[in-house]
């Protein structure tokens, strides 16, 4: 199918600012689904609230645009009810790790077969540039005019510690490898997390004098390095990208099928 | 009615009734005094191929049942005061997106942690106005186990009919008390199943375009129609809209579908109303003591009656006004500081004749408590 066959053109134009990275993520999600030859009717996209959450409305899947932070809780209900459906959960960094932090760690702990795509732009964009748990110490935001004193999370570390069986990180600069990572995450049986560093030139970029969207993407090129590379040893400031964990562990809905068999006395 | 007689806790009756109504999915979080509902369903649901999940918190439980319902499963959660507070945002989401579901609140004393193991009816107004924004909601209650069964089945039926969350407002006494239940046979109570769209695959399906009768046919997530569901004001496609006429139309649809059908949603019971000079109005466990007072006074020849409300929201104002028009006094009996009292005062022509007998100390209201207030009203002193 053509890319446009996945898009609800009726609902265009989208709401994203010029230079926003979310469109790159949406494009690559479509390409991953296309490459995997998945049927649109087998895909449910569940999102919360925020710029990133709007992806769900634009795509021609079963789409559920829910409450701020709660996408994974809604998605858990959908997946438990219909385990054969593939569930994609696009989230923002505030959506996933602040207001939705509890649901995030528990979905990871259960290892329920959902694909969480976290667009980390380090800011609350839709409300106009407040600091998020990913902004980082010393950064500027509309609610940190004198400098942010909040320490940041490492989403990949958090996901791994909580029990996610697939954890990866990529950036909007690395668009081609992002497709492959998304394909693996979607096909992985268990809770998969893909953190995507994505630029918000309008708020995070402007507040922190990071230049244009292109400048911010170039910084993803120079500021990241493949997992386990020598460069990281020389420069600990570099952010690792690639797949951190990909393990076969008991998946929640499969485990629950066994509970049903036990309850019914089927052995 | 079958010959099968059970002796159960009210929470267990609620479970039996939910399964009778076709419950397939339950998500919950432990909280006194509703926990038994989750415990029982963790075994009974998988036995019939249904799904149970204990979520990480009350909010997640509410969200999960909405997600499951969207795929076509009859879904329920159960909680008590603090949990009910936490669920409110998601209850509003179910109102806005018109996703059927049932929320059981076995009330305990509040506010805050309050009196976890004591009865209360303090959440009546929260059931009505707990979530933000203008909206309407259906809330049912019951005073005995046979009615707990009937109202639980009714809750599922109304949820499907009106595509709305329905709240079952029980209380600690009803939840934990054990009494007889005559188990209905499978065909005894009609069940309302989901109204599915007849729109064929490949034809445009408008998920939020109501039929002429106001009902909204559904298409299961994962089925042949793909559409958008959002908590934003949305058009007939389910897509966000800022247009004033779309907002106006949707708000009216959401409220009118319930408020215009109060007569269809109202359930109540009446005892000796026709010639009653004094009418007690009560509901839930408090109605048990009220009924005792009425029956014992009737035995002595006094003209007392009882109007027992089972639908609390939408408030059956017309029933209250008409059935109580002839009475000299009305006495509202409830375990709060007068939440239904205010509704009764608004409903009747003469609010001066409406009095309150209540209890808010965590103990159950007794017939003696009610008799003491009656003496005051009737000018006999205490």
Per-residue model confidence as pLDDT tens digits over B289-301: 999 999 999 999 9
Q: Is B214 among the domain residues?
A: no
At B160 the pLDDT is 98
Q: Which of B41, B17, B37, B22 is nearest to B148 (CA)?
A: B17
Minimal CA separation from A84 to chain B, in Å: 9
Of A60, A77, A80, the CB nearest to B226: A60
- Please indicate if any CB of chain A lies within 8 Å of the CB of B29: no
Tell me, yes or no, whether B196 lies in a domain: no
Quote the tokens at residue B143: 């005073």
- Does a structural domain hold residue B320? yes
* Banded pLDDT at B102 (limits 50, 70, 90): very high
Instruction: With beta carbons less than 8 A apart as the criterion, state whether B27 and B103 touch.
Output: no
Are B14 and B140 found together in one domain? yes
Going from the N-terminus, what domains does chain A have, and what CATH number goes with each?
A: 17-264 (3.40.50.970)
Same-domain status, B151 and B282: no
Q: Using an 8 Å Cβ cutoff, are A121 and A109 in contact? A: no
Is A264 in contact with B221 (Cβ distance < 8 A)?
Answer: no
SS (H, E, C) B85-107: HHHHHHHHHHHHHCCCEEEEEEE
Is residue B131 within 8 Å of B272, Cβ to Cβ? no
Half-sphere exposure of A109 (CA within 13 A, CB side): 9
Cβ atoms of A202 and A125 within 8 Å: the answer is yes
CATH number for the domain including B318? 3.40.50.920
Tell which of B182, B198, B233 closes a domain: B182
B101 burial level (CB within 10 Å; 0-12, 13-18, 19+)? buried
Report the interhelical angle of B35-47 vs A252-264 (nearest 10°): 80
| Residue B26 parent element (H or E) | strand B23-28
The DSSP bridge pattern shows strands B5-9 and B178-182 to be: antiparallel
Write the residue in A42, A57, A81 that is nearest to B51 by C-beta: A81
The set of residues, in sequence order, having a beta carbon less than 8 Å from that of B186 and lying 6+ positions away, is B20
Question: Is the Cβ of B43 closer than 8 Å to some Cβ of chain A?
Answer: yes
Please identify among residues 86-105 of chain B the ones whose CB lies closer than 8 Å to any CB of chain A.
Answer: 89-90, 93
pLDDT bracket for residue B381 (50, 70, 90): low
Instruction: Report chain A's mean pLDDT, rounded to a whole number.
Output: 97
Give the number of other CB atoms < 10 A from CB of residue A116.
30
Integer-rounded Cα Rg, in Å, for chain A is 18
**pLDDT at position B382 over 60:** no
Judge if B157 and B289 occupy the same domain: no
**By C-alpha distance, which of B187, B191, B188, B107 is closest to B156?**
B191
Q: Quickly state the pLDDT bin for A11 (edges 50, 70, 90).
A: confident
Residues in chain A: 267
Q: Does the structure show a pLDDT above 90 at B213?
A: no
- Chain A hits for B65, CB-CB cut-off 8 Å, are 77
Query: Cβ of B53: how many Cβ atoms within 10 Å?
Result: 24
**Sign for the pseudo-dihedral over CA of A112, B78, B127, B338:** negative
Are residues B303 and B177 part of one domain? no
Rounded to an integer, the average pLDDT of B34-56 is 98
Residue A133 in contact with residue A124, Cβ under 8 Å? no
Residues 6+ apart with CB under 8 A from A214: A19
Q: Is A258 on the interface with B (CB under 8 A)?
A: no
pLDDT, tens digit (0-9, with 9 covering 90-100), for B157-209: 999 999 999 999 999 999 999 999 999 999 999 999 999 999 999 999 999 99
Looking at beta carbons, which residues of chain B come within 8 Å of A57? 228, 230, 239-240
β-bridge partners, B23:
B74
pLDDT score of B1: 64
| B74, part of any domain | yes
Does residue B288 share a domain with residue B158? no
Q: Is the pLDDT of residue B380 over 90?
A: no
Which H helix or E strand runs over B331?
strand B329-334
> Is pLDDT above 80 for A266?
no
Q: Are residues B178 and B323 in the same domain?
A: no
Residues of A in contact with B100 (CB under 8 A): none
Q: What is the mean pLDDT of residues B50-73?
A: 98
Tell me the pLDDT tens digit for each residue of A19-47.
999 999 999 999 999 999 999 999 999 99
What ipTM was assigned to the predicted interfaces of this complex? 0.97
Contact B64 A77 (CB under 8 A): yes
Q: Is A1 on the interface with B (CB under 8 A)?
A: no
Q: Do A82 and B232 touch (CB under 8 A)?
A: no
**Is residue A1 very low, low, confident or very high in pLDDT (cuts 50, 70, 90)?**
confident
Give the helix/strand (H/E) hosting B333. strand B329-334
CB atoms within 10 A of CB B49: 12
pLDDT in tens, A235-246: 999 999 999 999
Report yes or no on B231 lying in a domain.
no
Cα–Cα distances (Å) from B315 to B139, B232, B348, B355, in that order, read: 9, 27, 13, 18
Q: What is the CATH number of the domain that holds B172?
A: 3.40.50.970
Substitution target from A38, A62, A110 for chain B, most B beta carbons within 10 A: A62
To test the contact with chain B by mutation, choose from A81, A102, A106 the residue with the greatest count of B C-beta atoms within 10 A, namely A81
Strand partners, A125: none
Closest to B362 measured CA to CA, from B173, B126, B146, B109: B109
Q: Nearest Cα to A52, choosing from A5, A130, A105, A121?
A: A121
Residue B246 · residue B240 · CB < 8 Å: no
| Residue B38 belongs to some domain of the structure | yes
pLDDT at A73 over 60: yes
3-state secondary structure labels for all residues of chain A: CCHHHHECHHHCCCCCCCCCCHHHHHHHHHHHHHHCCCCHHHEEEEECCCCHHHHHHHECCEEEECCCCCHHHHHHHHHHHCCCCEEEEEEEHHHHHCCCHHHHHHHHHHCCCCEEEEEECCEECCCCCEECCCCCCCCCECCECCCCCCCCCCHHHHHHHHCCCEEEEEECCCHHHHHHHHHHHHHCCCCEEEEEECCCHHHHHHHCCCCCHHHHHHHHHHHEEECCCHHHHHCCCCEEEEEEEECCCCCHHHHHHHHHHHHHCCC
Instruction: Answer for the pair B24, B70: CB distance below 8 angstroms, yes or no.
Output: no
Distance separating alpha carbons of residues A266 and A261, to the nearest angstrom: 5
A113-144 pLDDT tens trace: 999 999 999 999 999 999 999 999 999 999 99
Q: B76 pairs with which residues across the strands?
A: B26, B102
Q: Which of B130, B160, B182 is where one domain is finished? A: B182
- Domain of B79 in residue numbering reads as 5-182
The nearest alpha carbon in chain B to A61 belongs to B226
Is residue B118 assigned to a domain? yes
- The CA distance from B38 to A217, in Å, is 49
DSSP code of B234? B
Please, are residues B169 and B106 in contact by the beta-carbon 8 Å criterion?
no
Q: How many structural domains comprise chain B?
A: 2
Q: Would you place residue B80 in the very low, low, confident or very high pLDDT band (cuts 50, 70, 90)?
A: very high
Q: Is B71 on the interface with A (CB under 8 A)?
A: yes
End position of a domain, from candidates B167, B182, B197: B182
Q: What is the pLDDT of residues B234-275, one digit of tens each?
A: 999 999 999 999 999 999 999 999 999 999 999 999 999 999
**B108 occurs within a structural domain:** yes
Mutation target for A interface from B26, B53, B63: give the one with most A CBs within 10 A: B63
A267 touches B: beta carbon within 8 Å: no
Average pLDDT, chain B: 96
- Return the SS3 of B63: helix
Contact B219, B205 (CB under 8 A): yes
The C-alpha atoms of residue B69 and residue B101 are separated, in whole angstroms, by: 7
């Amino acid at each position: 199918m053509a890319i446009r066959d996945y898009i609800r053109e009726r609902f265009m134009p989208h709401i994203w600012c010029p230079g926003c990275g979310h469109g790159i993520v949406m494009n690559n999600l479509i390409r991953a689904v296309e490459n995997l030859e998945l049927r649109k009717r087998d895909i449910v996209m569940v999102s919360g609230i925020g710029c990133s959450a709007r992806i769900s409305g634009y795509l021609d899947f079963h789409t559920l645009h829910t409450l701020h932070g709660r996408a994974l809780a809604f998605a858990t209900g959908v997946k438990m009810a219909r385990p054969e459906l593939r569930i994609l959960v696009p989230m923002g960094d505030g959506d996933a790790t602040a207001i939705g932090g509890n649901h995030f760690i528990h979905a990871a702990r259960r290892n329920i077969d959902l694909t969480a795509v976290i667009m980390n732009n380090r800011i609350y964009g839709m409300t106009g540039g407040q600091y998020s748990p990913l902004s980082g110490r010393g950064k500027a935001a509309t609610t940190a005019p004198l400098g942010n004193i909040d320490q940041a999370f490492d989403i990949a570390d958090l996901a791994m510690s909580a029990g996610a069986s697939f954890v990866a990180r990529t950036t909007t600069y690395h668009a081609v490898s992002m497709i492959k990572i998304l394909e693996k995450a979607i096909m992985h049986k268990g809770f998969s997390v893909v953190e995507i560093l994505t630029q918000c030139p309008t708020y995070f970029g402007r507040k922190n004098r990071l230049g244009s969207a292109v400048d911010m993407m170039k910084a993803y090129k120079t500021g990241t390095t493949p997992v386990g590379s020598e460069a990281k040893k020389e420069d600990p400031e570099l952010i690792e990208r690639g797949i951190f964990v990909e393990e076969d562990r008991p998946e929640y809905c499969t485990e629950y099928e066994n509970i049903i068999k036990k309850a019914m006395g089927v052995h | 009615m079958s010959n099968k007689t059970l002796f159960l806790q009210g929470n267990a009756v609620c479970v039996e009734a939910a399964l009778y109504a076709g419950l397939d999915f339950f998500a919950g979080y432990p909280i006194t005094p509703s926990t038994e509902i989750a415990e029982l369903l963790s075994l009974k649901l998988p036995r019939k191929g249904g799904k149970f999940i204990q979520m990480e918190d009350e909010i997640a439980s509410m969200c999960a049942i909405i997600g499951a319902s969207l795929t076509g499963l009859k879904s329920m959660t159960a909680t008590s005061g603090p949990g009910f507070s936490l669920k409110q945002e998601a209850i509003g989401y179910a109102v806005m997106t018109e996703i059927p579901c049932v929320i059981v609140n076995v009330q305990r004393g509040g506010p805050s942690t309050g009196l976890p193991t004591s009865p209360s009816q303090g959440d009546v107004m929260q059931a009505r106005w707990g979530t933000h924004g203008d909206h309407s909601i259906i809330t049912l209650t019951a005073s005995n186990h046979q009615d707990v069964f009937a109202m639980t089945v009714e809750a599922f039926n109304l949820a499907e009919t009106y595509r709305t969350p329905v709240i079952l407002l029980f209380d600690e006494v009803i939840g934990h008390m054990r009494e007889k239940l005559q188990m209905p046979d499978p065909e005894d109570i009609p069940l309302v199943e989901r109204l599915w769209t007849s729109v064929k695959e490949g034809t445009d399906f408008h998920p939020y375009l109501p039929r002429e009768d106001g009902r909204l046919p559904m298409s299961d997530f994962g089925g042949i129609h793909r559409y958008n569901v959002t908590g934003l004001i949305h058009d007939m496609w389910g897509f966000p809209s800022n247009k004033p006429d779309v907002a106006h139309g949707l708000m009216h649809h959401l409220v009118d579908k319930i408020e215009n059908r109060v007569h269809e949603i109202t359930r109540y019971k009446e005892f000796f109303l026709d010639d009653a000079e004094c009418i007690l109005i009560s509901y839930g466990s408090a109605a048990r003591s009220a009924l005792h007072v009425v029956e014992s006074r009737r035995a002595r020849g006094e003209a007392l009656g009882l109007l027992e409300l089972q639908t609390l929201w939408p408030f059956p104002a017309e029933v209250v006004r008409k059935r109580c028009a002839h009475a000299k006094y009305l006495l509202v009996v409830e375990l709060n500081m007068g939440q239904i009292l205010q509704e009764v005062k608004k409903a009747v022509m003469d609010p001066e004749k409406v009095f309150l007998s209540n209890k808010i100390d965590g103990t159950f209201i007794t017939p003696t408590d009610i008799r003491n207030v009656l003496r005051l009203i009737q000018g006999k002193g205490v």
